[in-house]
């Protein structure tokens, strides 16, 4: 039996030595010292031995058990140390490797213009008003005094959603909402996205942006409109900029005007930018039509107002000398990063 035990010890220690994982070692512990293990089995047989033999064999059995357990524990530490080494080696950082580059984004040129114009008007005491891009025909056309047969109402010019809704063709409906819901005086600008049923080309996009302004109160005058716009263009294009009002016609204003500024490239001398005219058209404006005030629940006998509107893409294209509106919406970073 002693021989059996010593033999078992040699085999066990050999297997322990060959083990390469913690799991394998656990298996060996079960194989030898577990409840149904080989060492346990031999020790169970000790009952059959004589009283003289039993302590001697018992001593050997203990030595064997300790040798196996000790071997397993020692090997376990060895494997743990090797695994730790491996992990450390795999986590070594090569500080000479090139780093990841993070590109910092920037505002789209259209957003830059909207923010710049908004800042100027906020400085003049205006608030910013926003509204839905899906609008009612009432807010987009009827309230704004657009005749029923006005060409802009045509199915081929406007994206209709159903018999009551459309994609707004200008941001004026935001101001209509403001007039219908807020107390006077009103002094707001409404920047935002607009939609018209146009085929894209160098100067047209079915989606574009506008900034409109509206002032309504007692004794609001055309002189104040001119002063406000004069102040605005000087801040946007430079103090030397002059304005010129040309008579025009809009259904929602009376009188109406188109507003030109002295060319900010040549200062009015005439150049390619202003087509040798010295002036560049930048805005539409006028005194709010009495019908519009009435449609929005404001008495035109007591109150008056002025309004204006500008195309953001047009201003951006002039300012940054962009010759094709589509470039603004292709989102090619090589283009956008220039502004």
Residue with smaller CB distance to ligand 2NL, 57 or 144:
144
Residue with smaller CB distance to ligand 2NL, 32 or 245:
245
CB of 216 to ligand 2NL, least distance (A): 9
CA distance 9 to 12: 5
CB of 227 to ligand 2NL, least distance (A): 17
Q: Residue 258's closest CA among 266, 270, 250?
A: 250
CA distance 69 to 269: 100
CB of 332 to ligand 2NL, least distance (A): 26
CB of 200 to ligand 2NL, least distance (A): 18
Residue with smaller CB distance to ligand 2NL, 32 or 232:
232
CB of 135 to ligand 2NL, least distance (A): 12
Is residue 280 within 8 A of residue 263, CB to CB? The reply is: yes
CB of 186 to ligand 2NL, least distance (A): 10
Residue with smaller CB distance to ligand 2NL, 24 or 258:
258
Is residue 60 within 8 A of residue 5, CB to CB? The reply is: yes
CA distance 89 to 174: 64
Residue with smaller CB distance to ligand 2NL, 25 or 236:
236
Q: What is the dihedral of CA 113, 231, 181, 179, to 10 degrees?
A: -110
Residue with smaller CB distance to ligand 2NL, 288 or 325:
288
Residue with smaller CB distance to ligand 2NL, 241 or 253:
253
CB of 262 to ligand 2NL, least distance (A): 19
Is residue 6 within 8 A of residue 60, CB to CB? The reply is: yes
Residue with smaller CB distance to ligand 2NL, 8 or 216:
216
CB of 309 to ligand 2NL, least distance (A): 2
Contacting residues toward ligand 2NL, per CB under 6 A = 172, 175-176, 210, 212, 214, 250, 252-253, 284-286, 288, 292, 307-311
Q: How large is the angle between the packed helices 22-33 and 53-90, nearest 10 degrees?
A: 170
């Amino acid at each position: 039996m002693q021989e059996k035990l010593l033999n078992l010890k040699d085999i066990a220690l050999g297997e322990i030595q060959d083990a390469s994982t913690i799991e394998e070692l656990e298996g060996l512990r079960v194989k030898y010292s577990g409840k149904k293990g080989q060492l346990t089995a031999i020790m169970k047989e000790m009952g059959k031995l004589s009283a003289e033999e039993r302590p001697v064999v018992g001593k050997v059995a203990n030595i064997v058990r300790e040798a196996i357990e000790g071997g397993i524990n020692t090997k376990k530490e060895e494997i743990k140390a090797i695994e730790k080494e491996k992990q450390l080696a795999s986590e070594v950082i090569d500080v000479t490797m090139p780093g990841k580059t993070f590109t910092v984004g920037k505002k789209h040129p259209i957003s830059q213009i909207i923010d710049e114009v908004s800042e100027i008007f906020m400085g003049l005491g205006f608030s910013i008003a926003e509204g839905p891009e899906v609008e009612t025909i009432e807010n987009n056309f009827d309230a704004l005094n657009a005749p029923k047969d006005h060409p802009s109402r045509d199915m081929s010019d406007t994206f209709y959603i159903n018999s009551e809704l459309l994609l707004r063709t200008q941001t004026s409906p935001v101001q209509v909402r403001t007039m219908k819901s807020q107390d006077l005086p009103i002094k707001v600008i409404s920047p935002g996205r607009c939609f018209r049923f146009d085929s894209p080309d160098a100067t047209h996009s079915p989606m574009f942006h506008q900034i409109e302004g509206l002032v309504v109160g007692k004794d609001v005058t055309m002189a104040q409109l001119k002063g406000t716009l004069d102040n605005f263009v000087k801040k946007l294009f430079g103090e030397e900029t002059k304005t010129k009002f040309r008579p025009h016609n809009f259904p929602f204003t009376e009188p109406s005007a188109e507003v030109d500024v002295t060319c900010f490239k040549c200062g009015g001398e005439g150049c390619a930018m202003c087509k040798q005219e010295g002036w560049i058209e930048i805005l539409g404006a006028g005194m709010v039509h009495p019908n519009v005030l009435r449609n929005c629940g404001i008495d035109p006998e007591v109150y008056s107002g002025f309004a204006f509107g500008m195309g953001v893409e047009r201003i951006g294209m002039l300012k940054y000398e962009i010759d094709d509106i589509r470039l603004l919406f292709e989102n090619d970073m090589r283009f956008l990063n220039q502004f």
